Structure 1
Amino acid sequence: MKKEDIIFSDWHRWLFGTAPPAFTGEVAVRAILLFACMLLMMRLLGRRMKGQLSIGELAVILTLGAIIGGGLQNPAMGLLPSLVALAVILFMHRMVNWLAFKYRPVELLEQGDMSLIVRDGLLELATMQQHALSQEQLFGLLRNKKIAHLGELRRVYLEANGRLSFYKLPEPRPGLSVLPRADAPPPAPDGPAHGRRVCATCGHLASATDHAGTRCPRCSADNWLPATQ
């Protein structure tokens, strides 16, 4: 479209674009046909597409949107190219899933692997940095799981689909609170956490001499908080 063809008061262009008004009814029919095809394709892609998406499945969803856009609204484009592209995407998705089932390296390449981000109440900072996961993001996810402090946790895994899996210690030990600083509990008056402090960066539970003006022996940070039990 040339710039001189763009007229602000041209209501026909605002409503129908450059297509004739009759194309509006054709768009409705195209939408019905492509919607039915998409329902069928989503059924054939498998139940995983209805749950938490992997990287490959998210790529399929985004590609599907791009494919049906042209066939839905472009009057110069027929439906057959869109249907062929949908069939190709379905074949590729099924083929990649089959290869991932047969070969572990393909599965790791396509879906990724789980990562350990909490070990015995301590944050694995290098792994968190690798996955661009901040401490506050992790703590927010843990609060959603009713976790009050890191001392409750034996292992926390960041799964390939982005969800957290966690396993608690049989007996919680003093640890770093995951609550916001404004709502953090006061120092314990007695019990195992009394007088104990933890590193606010990695969750290291300090001995009596670790926090006497020294840096954390695990991450070299110098930021100590009262331990929570």
Structure 2
Amino acid sequence: MFEIADLRKILLHDHPVTFLLEVVLRTVIMFLIILIALRASGKRGIKQLSIFELVLIIGLGSAAGDPMFYDDVGILPAFVVFLVVISLYIIVTRLSDRFVKIEKLLEGEPLYVIREGKLLMDAFRDSGLSQDEFFAELRLRNVEHLGQVRTVLIETSGEFSVLFYADDDVRYGLPIFPDKLRHKVSSHQNHEYIACAKCGSVRKAAHSEKLPVCPECDVCEWVEASNAKRVG
């Protein structure tokens, strides 16, 4: 049968009620240490997180959390952890600013995934994104088809840099809305241009009934290409 003693154990374990005051004090101290540590890392560490900076945050989070409510974890050892991790961060950051190879090792390099309205399949596979995820990101930037896009670059932070064609330069491209992608064409008839559903290669419709295999990605799935101008 559930008793008051069981509830006390669930809420406080073996600690006295006065330990809650100690938790408050520990939390305030660790909060100030975290604040100072983030200020020491500078705006660069706050604006965007690289892989290295994510490791930094995870490490500091663990070091900060335990001393807040574990009575057997002292604040001083946690402070030493903060001091060492932030020092390493500052050293490595300065080295990466000075040496390009170290920066590339830690930060990676920007990845071109679209050039001239066409997916670069090798680079796209390296990005680790699915086609659905990638097209969803483009749709959020008011992209309707790849012919509107000149270049897409995935930055080291994971953000997308998208460069558009001017309205007068928009070309035929692969539509990226789900309903258009699902509507595969069965022949060249009644279509001026068709686009490969996988890589976005565009070709002018031929007179033959049989659709070709895409020379870029060896897939035979085509949709009607669009040349609509951007809205917004």
| Aligned with 1:216 (options 214, 217, 232) | 214
Provide the residue aligned with 1:201 in structure 2: 198
Structure 2 gap ranges (5+): 228-232
Instruction: Report the CA distance between 1:112 and its aligned residue.
Output: 0.7
TM-score under structure 1 normalisation?
0.88
RMSD (Å), alpha carbons = 2.3
Instruction: Report the CA distance between 1:207 and its aligned residue.
Output: 2.9
Provide the residue aligned with 1:225 in structure 2: 223
CA contact (8 A) 2:181 2:197 kept: no
| Aligned with 2:52 (options 37, 40, 56) | 56
Assess, with a 3 A threshold, how the Cα gap between structure 1 residues 113 and 220 changes in structure 2: closer, same or farther.
same
Cα distance in 2, alignment partners of residues 144 and 131 from structure 1: 19
| Aligned with 1:106 (options 102, 108, 121) | 102
CA contact (8 A) 1:153 1:168 kept: yes
Provide the residue aligned with 1:125 in structure 2: 121
Provide the residue aligned with 2:40 in structure 1: 44
Query: Which structure 2 residues correspond to residues 103-182 of structure 1 after superposition, within 5 A?
Result: 103-170=99-166, 171-181=169-179
Provide the residue aligned with 2:15 in structure 1: 19
Which secondary structure state, in structure 1, belongs to the residue aligned with residue 204 of structure 2? coil
Instruction: Report the CA distance between 1:8 and its aligned residue.
Output: 9.7
CA contact (8 A) 1:177 1:184 kept: no
Which secondary structure state, in structure 2, belongs to the residue aligned with residue 65 of structure 1? helix
Query: Which structure 2 residues correspond to residues 68-87 of structure 1 after superposition, within 5 A?
Result: 68-87=64-83
Cα distance in 2, alignment partners of residues 8 and 155 from structure 1: 65
CA contact (8 A) 1:175 1:205 kept: yes
CA contact (8 A) 2:117 2:200 kept: yes
Cα distance in 2, alignment partners of residues 8 and 141 from structure 1: 53
CA contact (8 A) 1:199 1:225 kept: yes
TM-score under structure 2 normalisation?
0.87
CA contact (8 A) 2:181 2:223 kept: no
Structure 1 gap ranges (5+): 1-6, 188-192
Q: Percent identity?
A: 29
